[in-house]
């Protein structure tokens, strides 16, 4: 845990409401500034600053993020209509919180290319 990381505090239950999903490895919670009717963030409980800091040892954990997002999408009724997963990495991609997180966006039609 990084003491100055807001997502570490959310994963530890120190701030924020009840998570959408949580187990010993990952936490999912609603984005505070939703960009779609469904906007959920899926994070590892372990602090990893960005995909650039992910190591080979994180392979299973990164796969778990994807599978957890798919399960949540199904739970939210998004599997058939579709949804988008976004993983911003670094300044030009718009990463603002440096604890790796997968955005799960759904409930509206998405544009391509993304902005
Ligand atoms: P990024 O721009 O780093 O990919 O995404 C960070 C996301 O975290 C943003 O969509 C932002 O709205 C969300 N966020 C930032 N602070 C908080 C917070 O304290 N609680 C929640 N639930 N979401 C947050
Ligand atoms: Zn963190």
Note the pLDDT tens digit of each residue in 77-103.
999 999 999 999 999 999 999 999 999
Please tell me the distance from the alpha carbon of residue 19 to that of residue 16, in angstroms, as a whole number. Answer: 8
pLDDT band at 9 (very low <50, low <70, confident <90, very high): very high
Q: Is residue 6 within 6 Å of ligand 1 at its C-beta?
A: yes
pLDDT at site 2: 77
Task: Classify domain 6-106 at the CATH topology level.
Answer: HIT family, subunit A (3.30.428)
Please tell me the distance from the alpha carbon of residue 66 to that of residue 26, in angstroms, as a whole number. Answer: 11
Relative to the alpha carbon of 4, which ligand is closest?
A: 2
Please tell me the distance from the alpha carbon of residue 42 to that of residue 75, in angstroms, as a whole number. Answer: 14
Q: Is residue 7 within 6 Å of ligand 1 at its C-beta?
A: no
pTM: 0.98
pLDDT at site 1: 73
Exposed, middle or buried, 5 (CB in 10 Å: 0-12/13-18/19+)? middle
pLDDT at site 15: 96
């Amino acid at each position: 845990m990084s003491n100055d990381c807001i997502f570490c505090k959310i994963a530890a239950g120190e701030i924020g409401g009840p998570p959408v999903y949580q187990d010993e490895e990952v936490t999912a919670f609603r984005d505070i500034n939703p960009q779609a009717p469904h906007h959920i963030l899926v994070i590892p409980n372990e602090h990893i600053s960005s995909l650039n800091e992910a190591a080979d040892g994180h392979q299973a954990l990164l796969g778990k993020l994807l599978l957890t997002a798919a399960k949540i999408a199904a739970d939210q009724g998004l599997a058939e209509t579709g949804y988008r997963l976004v993983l911003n990495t670094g300044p030009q991609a718009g990463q603002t919180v440096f604890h790796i997180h997968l955005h799960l966006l759904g409930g509206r039609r998405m544009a391509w290319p993304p902005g």
